[in-house]
Structure 1
């Protein structure tokens, strides 16, 4: 029996053909100062009662010109055995070509697509259905959501109207538009099969998954194309399929437009993605636990198990054993719900948190910080520097006094810019005068430019100054 696997719906057409599975951010490009003028219609697709429809042609006519084909090319070098590399023999360079789709979201040329469609590209071409061709540049990419924004130069270009993807319901009619297998623009029809689907596509980059699942046919080449509702509005960016054969079997996934557009705005305005950070550690409230905390077994929410010092939530009215039920009026019942909800809100924003304490409802506000791992490699405190909480085992291994507490540096890469100022076995007690016993809190108090840390090393305390560029 063949095991289904997730396949990104992009298409490579060179001699090195294959699926583009990597999720490596493309080189940063210069970010324009202007913001796109977006058309948004946030009303539900219907009130639940719809007349019989015999054709969607008129509705699709308005959106189809805004869906484009995206052709990429990059230079790759053939791998040769190590013996030949030692002799100075390098593999031949070849051009690798790929293709996907994209959606124009503004009349001045901003295009939403997938990160894996454009990653590493040396050149991007955009082809319209009327055969017009443009050269595109990468504005920014976000591997953690597989979103990319590219731009072409033009005026009065056809653009899509964005819907509110939070209003989607299972059973809503949808259309997938793109260029599958490079046969030309193709429209397929289906329904929303599920929402808030998480299938592990982006686990390698600690990503954020909230996919719309659809049975509208999606194939290689559809990546970055449009998922459209029955009113012709953009509700998602097609991204991947689950298949035993790398072909469509009716299980496709699209990034909700609300998530994609929030990433797009951040990339256009700042050139990076800044995600909100609340600073709470939680556990799912089970029916068995609910009774112990004075609520009904049907209560949905997250039980606060810890509020790391220095984090945004620690400065609010929230307490350990509070049950968080919603953020800005939107319910949260799993840790993924909370992580995704907060990550879509810009740092510095104040959110309203509804909670239950001792069986009674309450409400407070938390001003979010920037998520600490946004600009660090996964699991690192600083580039090339890994630090862990100081456990009894680590304390014994490194002969550290019981009165010392903080984060112990466990690994420093040779190419780390901090290799000369920090040492393995060094305990960081404070960063910028804030006690740190948790890596997330430590990252949250780091600032661009000058930082100062109080460290303990070989029985001696001292201050270390380091810079984040």
Structure 2
């Protein structure tokens, strides 16, 4: 009986299982997908490679960028004492000839063309009489100064070489807060140093270049930058140049958390002008501007805290001619939103006099787009070129070390082949050694050209010495007799 009962139960179980299988086959939709739980996937940021650990990998960007960053050393003379004729008459000339030894400086630069053009900071090469460039592979060259712009703290130099590893230029406008960047340079003469950080802020105005013509719209990062990094590269994850490292926020003189770089959008425009004209073509909108904050919005009855407030307007300027009015709020330049004076200056600085831009303004709560033709500092659209020295009526040559030692001076350029011109009109004689024009020390012939280029209006004051030791001063106007 027990055996019959056992086999009966087995047959019942088999029969019941078969019926279940038949029902499943007949009534369940075979086309429905069976949902499974996927394997966990690692999220990867666009444009960034990852190592085995899943962390952002910047090694490719670092390896490529160090080849394009150079070490710059400069030699320049310290200011020596020059006698004052009135002081000497009263008290004697006991200190004439006092001077210190030439000083040296160092910084970094970025190769931007295969034929040897290098961008750096103006303060790295300013007033130097010798510039040396050492490549990443240790080759060394003397560099020529092509041009400099104190208003953006940029300079362009060149070495005589071909097929150099240039760095591709990126787009700093596309940088996002929190994006990874590398600072590449030569801090404390430690060549080819790479540090990493993120973009902490954009369009920072620090007020370190104290001039009304200065343009400050720095990228702020927390990548470590120290003395010697100036002129070096700020590089994105693709190895492209997005900025030139320029300054640090520090009470000690060394890195303490934040560094600042000139955006490559400004760099592109400045170096293009220096290469083509030897002088930056500065476009002017012709407005005085303020940031819009809660207090200003309330005081001026603005409906929103946005844009840049037009507080003043230059008559017959580009903005005035286009119809911009005081109390307008500028919202965008050529489609790029601007919410601070620094952002507005950065966008306008991309263009040259004569370029037409679209300016979006808000007036009485209503938006309006204006077409504005930018102008230069003289109020027109002409190209401003470096001044020609022909009007001086002379040739110039560097003085020898023997002459420097004999006259106890550490710099100077000698006047020769005097002919009709400003120098002859002022009774300057051949052999006169110019060692200063206005406040600029003169070490080489190019310094004379640069000193005169810096004079927009007014006069020239020349300090110098004759071969017999007689110190003389001359002054004349550039605009008339």
Q: Could you tell me the TM-score, scaled by structure 2's length?
A: 0.65
CA shift at 1:372, angstroms? Answer: 4.6
Identify which of 306, 328, 333 aligns with 1:300. Answer: 306
Equivalent runs, 1:81-230 vs 2, <5 Å: 86-87=93-94, 89-203=96-210, 206-230=213-237
SS at match of 1:337: helix
Equivalent runs, 1:35-50 vs 2, <5 Å: 47=46
Cα distance in 2, alignment partners of residues 207 and 120 from structure 1: 19
CA shift at 1:226, angstroms? Answer: 0.9
The question of whether the paired residues in 2 share the 8 Å contact of 1:166 and 1:258 is answered with yes
- Per mean C-alpha deviation after superposition, the further-off stretch among 149-158 and 337-346 is 337-346
CA shift at 1:282, angstroms? Answer: 4.1
Q: Which residue matches 1:383?
A: 458
- Per mean C-alpha deviation after superposition, the further-off stretch among 81-90 and 180-189 is 81-90
**RCO higher in 1 or 2 (8 Å CA, sep ≥ 6)?**
1
The question of whether the paired residues in 2 share the 8 Å contact of 1:343 and 1:371 is answered with no
Pairing 1:345–2:357 present: no
Cα distance in 1, alignment partners of residues 76 and 46 from structure 2: 48
Equivalent runs, 1:248-397 vs 2, <5 Å: 248-287=255-294, 290=297, 296=303, 298-372=304-378, 382-383=457-458
Unpaired runs of 5+ residues, structure 1, are 1-44, 386-413, 419-465
Indicate how the Cα distance of structure 1 residues 289 and 121 shifts in structure 2: closer, same or farther if over 3 A, else same. closer
The question of whether the paired residues in 1 share the 8 Å contact of 2:244 and 2:262 is answered with yes
Unpaired runs of 5+ residues, structure 2, are 1-43, 387-450, 461-473
Identify which of 66, 69, 72 aligns with 1:67. Answer: 69
Q: Judging by fraction of residues, say which structure has more helix.
A: 2
Indicate how the Cα distance of structure 1 residues 281 and 214 shifts in structure 2: closer, same or farther if over 3 A, else same. closer
SS at match of 1:364: strand
The question of whether the paired residues in 2 share the 8 Å contact of 1:114 and 1:148 is answered with yes
The question of whether the paired residues in 1 share the 8 Å contact of 2:198 and 2:222 is answered with yes
Cα distance in 1, alignment partners of residues 258 and 326 from structure 2: 41
Q: Judging by fraction of residues, say which structure has more strand.
A: 1
Q: Could you tell me the TM-score, scaled by structure 1's length?
A: 0.66
CA shift at 1:80, angstroms? Answer: 8.5
Alpha-carbon RMSD across the aligned residues, in angstroms, is 3.3
CA shift at 1:368, angstroms? Answer: 0.6
Indicate how the Cα distance of structure 1 residues 337 and 77 shifts in structure 2: closer, same or farther if over 3 A, else same. closer
